[in-house]
Structure 1
C-alpha cells in the first residue's frame, strides 16, 4: 500500500507547489490523479519517487520510507513518465536487458517476458534498433515495456497515452488491469477522464496544489450533490466551484 500523509513540497522550500496532500493506494486498486496543468500532479509523483524531498509530510510504501530503505523501496516500484528517457547507445532489447539486470530478474524469465512484451506492443521487428530511429510513441512503448517487465508492487504512470496508437493504448490498459488483478497498486495521472472513469477505482482531484475532491464515483457524487454526474462533470464542477 502507498500512503501519502500531509505532503507539502515543490522545487523550492519557500514556494511549495503542493499542500497537505493525504491519500492512499491499496493493492488491487487503480487510483487516478487528476487536475489542470500546473495543479501539482507531476510534482506529487516526483516526491513519491524520491526525485524531490518534501518540506513536510511522509510517504510510505509497505510501511517503509525511501530514506529508510532506498534500494528495497525502488525495487518495488515501476514508473512510466510522460516524456520517455532512453539511452541513445542502447537498442530496444538492450534497454529491456538492462532493466532486468537492475531489478534482479532471472535471465530465463526475463527473455520470455521480453519477447511477449515486444510482440504485444508491435515492436519485435525493432528489437535491435536504437532510440534515434524511434517516433515518440515508439519511445513511450519502450518505457512501458520496461515497466511491465519488472512486474512491480507499485506502478506509477504519468500521462502515458500521449503519442500512443490505439492498439498500444489498448495493450497498456489491458496490462494495467492484469497487474491490478495480481495485487499491484497503480497510481495513474491522466487528462483522459473517460478512460480514468472506466478503469479507475478511486480518484484524487487536485486544484492549485490541494486536494479538492477524492473518493470513488459514488462518494464524490454524494459530496458534490451531483447524483448522476460523470467524472468529467464532477471535474468541471470542482474546477469552477471549488471544494464541495
Structure 2
C-alpha cells in the first residue's frame, strides 16, 4: 500500500504564470485519513482542488495521487480519485439510477458490486423513492446527494470533496459523515473543504490551512493550534481565525 494517496510538493499554480494563485504548497493525505482544507474565500482552496483533479497543471512542483502524476499516467491517476464539486453537475435527462450506472461503468465496477453499493447508498441517503426520477426534477439537496453517491459508489483511494454540507438537510449530513467514516476505515483518504469548521473538527485527522495562496499551517489539530499561538486547550476554529488575521474567539 502507498504511504500516501495524495502528495503535493512545492506546488506553484493557478491560471496565470505571471500571477500564480498558489505558492509553494505542500500537503499530504495518507490512507485512512480525512484532511480538512481550510481557508477564507479566495484563499486558493478551489484552485488547489482543480490541480488535484487535473483541471490545472502545476507551473512548478508536483501533485501525485497514489505515487503517480497526471502527466505520467493519465488513466490510473484519474481512476484513483473521485471529486464532488460544491455545485452539483448532473445530466438533467438521466435518472438517479442512470447516473449511478454510468459512474460504475466509467470506473469499471462490476454489476454485482454496483448493485450492492448502489442499493446501500440509496438507502443511506434516503433516495430510494427518487432513483427513477430525472435529475432535472430534483432539488439542490437531492442533486448533491446524487453527486455524493456517485463518488462513494466507486470507492477510490482518494476523495476530493468541496463544501459537501451546503444544501444538505441534517439527516443527509449525518449520512455523509457516517459514509466518510466508513471510507476512512476501508483505507481511502479524503481531503474535504468546508467553511463549517465546527462540523469538520470532530472528524478530521489533520488540516491544511490556506491563506492568500500559501499554507500557513498544516498537520494535526495540535500543530495548527501551535502555529496560531492559541491556547493549547483551544480549538482549531480559534486557531484558524488567528492564522487568517481574524480575532481568535
**Pairwise TM-score range, normalised by the shorter structure:** over 0.9
1:230 aligns with 2:235: yes
CA–CA distance in 2 between the matches of 1:166 and 1:72? 36
CA–CA distance in 2 between the matches of 1:164 and 1:107? 29
TM norm structure 2: 0.94
TM norm structure 1: 0.96
1:47 aligns with 2:45: no
CA–CA distance in 2 between the matches of 1:111 and 1:15? 47
Tell me what 1:144 maps to: 148
Tell me what 1:3 maps to: 7
Per-residue Cα deviation, 1:177-225 (whole angstroms, up to 9, x for no partner): 1110111111011111011211011111111011111111122223333
Tell me what 1:239 maps to: 244
Q: 1:116 Cα shift?
A: 1.2
Q: 1:14 Cα shift?
A: 1.7
Kindly indicate whether the alpha-carbon contact (under 8 Å) linking 2:88 and 2:143 is maintained by their aligned counterparts in 1.
yes
1:174 counterpart (159, 170, 178) = 178
1:80 counterpart (73, 76, 84) = 84
Q: Gaps (5+ residues) in structure 1?
A: none
Q: 1:236 Cα shift?
A: 0.7
Q: 1:232 Cα shift?
A: 1.2
1:195 aligns with 2:196: no
Measured at CA, do residues 241 and 133 of structure 1 come closer, stay the same or move farther in structure 2, by a change above 3 Å?
closer
Q: Gaps (5+ residues) in structure 2?
A: none
**Aligned positions of 1:80-119 closer than 5 A:** 80-119=84-123
Tell me what 1:135 maps to: 139
Tell me what 1:218 maps to: 222
1:157 counterpart (147, 156, 161) = 161
1:205 aligns with 2:206: no
CA–CA distance in 1 between the matches of 2:210 and 2:229? 19
Kindly indicate whether the alpha-carbon contact (under 8 Å) linking 2:91 and 2:136 is maintained by their aligned counterparts in 1.
no
Q: 1:46 Cα shift?
A: 0.3
CA–CA distance in 2 between the matches of 1:224 and 1:40? 20
CA–CA distance in 2 between the matches of 1:42 and 1:216? 22
Per-residue Cα deviation, 1:144-179 (whole angstroms, up to 9, x for no partner): 000010011101110011000111111111111111
Per-residue Cα deviation, 1:105-152 (whole angstroms, up to 9, x for no partner): 101110121111111111111111111111110000000000010011
1:29 counterpart (9, 28, 33) = 33
CA–CA distance in 1 between the matches of 2:33 and 2:74? 24
Runs of 4+ in structure 1 displaced over 6 angstroms? none
